[in-house]
């Protein structure tokens, strides 16, 4: 079994709780990871509040951004191996506020060894937002 932090009702934090769930099994293109750190973003409470699709099955896992260690590689999951340290978003329907979660191999990157897990987990949403903004602004070098 694996612990996960979920919300059991749409609304405020009073509906959040820990649950025990089976360790997920990676499917094609997926990696099972042992979570070392999870990012926290405004989108997390917006999802819980029901502002971004209240059609989720409850209880729903919380958290999107994750950094962890690969413990099982699904079929067709690229060049990842057990023990690889990764960062990125969780696979749809899975949460990062958990002991174990699934990620899509094509959506994550290997974490540089010099980057702490806590810093790595803060990068996916915030980093992608900054990257997108810089490209939309069309800034020139210098």
Query: Looking at per-residue confidence, does 72 or 129 come out higher?
Result: 72
Instruction: Give 42-92 as a DSSP string.
Output: HHHHHHHHTTT-TT--SSEE---EEEEEEEEE-TT-TT--TT-EEEEEPPT
Whether residue 54 is predicted with pLDDT greater than 80 in this model: the reply is no
φ, ψ of residue 131 to 5 degrees: the values are -55, -50
Whether residue 109 is predicted with pLDDT greater than 90 in this model: the reply is yes
> Residue 29: which pLDDT band, with cuts at 50, 70 and 90?
very high
Distance CA 19, CA 7 (A): 10
Would 39 be classed as within a structural domain?
Answer: yes
pLDDT in the model for residue 141:
81
Distance CA 1, CA 23 (A): 6
Would 105 be classed as within a structural domain?
Answer: yes
- C-alpha closest to that of 57 among 20, 90, 9: 9
Would 142 be classed as within a structural domain?
Answer: no
pLDDT in the model for residue 52:
84
Range of the domain at 35: 2-137
Would 54 be classed as within a structural domain?
Answer: yes
Indicate the number of domains in the chain: 1
Would 93 be classed as within a structural domain?
Answer: yes
> Residue 53: which pLDDT band, with cuts at 50, 70 and 90?
confident
Would 20 be classed as within a structural domain?
Answer: yes
The CATH number assigned to the domain holding 49 equals 3.90.180.10
Would 132 be classed as within a structural domain?
Answer: yes
The pTM for the full model equals 0.90
- Residue 77 has which token pair? 């999951």
Helix (H) or strand (E) holding 128: helix 123-137
Would 69 be classed as within a structural domain?
Answer: yes
Residue range 34-54: average pLDDT?
Answer: 91
- C-alpha closest to that of 77 among 31, 37, 142, 140: 31
């Amino acid at each position: 079994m694996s612990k996960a932090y979920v919300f059991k009702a749409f609304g405020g934090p009073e509906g959040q709780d820990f649950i025990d769930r089976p360790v997920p099994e990676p499917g094609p293109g997926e990696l099972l990871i042992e979570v070392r750190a999870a990012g926290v973003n405004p989108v997390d409470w917006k999802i819980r509040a029901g502002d971004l699709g209240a059609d989720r099955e409850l209880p729903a896992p919380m958290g999107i951004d994750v950094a962890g260690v690969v413990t099982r590689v699904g079929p067709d999951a690229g060049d990842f191996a057990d023990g690889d340290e990764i960062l990125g978003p969780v696979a749809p329907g899975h949460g990062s506020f958990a002991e174990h979660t699934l990620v899509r191999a094509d959506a994550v990157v290997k974490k540089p060894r010099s980057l702490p897990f806590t810093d790595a987990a803060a990068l996916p949403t915030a980093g992608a937002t900054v990257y997108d903004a810089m490209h939309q602004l069309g800034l020139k070098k210098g």
